[in-house]
Amino acid sequence: MADDPTEKRARPVRRRFTQILDALEKTGARYALCGATAMGAHGVRRFTEDLDFFVDDRDLERLLEMLAKAFREVAREPKEGPPSQVRIRARRAKSAASVDIDLMVPVDAAEAWALASSVRAKAFDRKVDVISAEALVVLKLRAYLSNPDAPKAQVHRADAARILHETRVDIASLRRFVASDPALAAQLEYAVTAQEMPPRRHK
């Protein structure tokens, strides 16, 4: 089920990506690809089994209406009132192992910044709005800090280090952004100094 944005052969993730991107473009929704697929769009190879997008809260319901024939909701948070996250799955999917898509509304300053600072990049041979490499680092480190003992916590921290060492990242602006959060600032320095690749590509 895993897929890689650098591969050309259509697989489930690629097909779902195409469906979602077509709907986003038709509705004119403000969005930004995030998660592991965004890493691939920035040139950091990363396999994934699902897709994650930030979507402006003013556009989410209209997008869901367009997708309703092909997809069904499998989760919504919160259950009442305007959603902050909706998980959808193809109606033809036969099991929970199918590709899920998380459509997320930014709920805090970091996520709003991630959406606002999105850049154009290529994923699965399509031009797409993607959160910046800097925003990816911040969100990955925040995911680690939210539960350092979780099974995937170290994956998030390792992802942050890979982004820092395998693509161009403005370290100075990142340090300014996280300066008011000592725990996040400490994790950024840990990732910057991780010995995965020489830091010669940093700005």
126 lies in the same domain as 137: no
Number of domains in the chain: 2
18 lies in the same domain as 93: yes
125 lies in the same domain as 50: yes
Please report how many Cα atoms fall inside a 13 Å half-sphere around the Cα of residue 27, on the Cβ side.
Answer: 21
CA-closest candidate to residue 174, choices 105, 114, 108: 114
In tens, the pLDDT along 31-57 reads 999 999 999 999 998 777 789 999 999
Please report how many Cα atoms fall inside a 13 Å half-sphere around the Cα of residue 121, on the Cβ side.
Answer: 22
Confidence (pTM): 0.87
Residue 36 three-state SS? helix
Range of the domain at 180: 132-203
Instruction: Give me the phi and psi of 103, to 5 degrees please.
Output: -105, 115
In tens, the pLDDT along 63-119 reads 999 999 999 999 999 999 899 999 999 998 877 668 999 999 999 999 999 999 999
Task: Tell me the sheet residues that pair with 93.
Answer: none
| CATH code of 48's domain | 3.30.460.10
107 lies in the same domain as 202: no
140 lies in the same domain as 116: no
117 within 8 A of 169, measured Cβ to Cβ: no
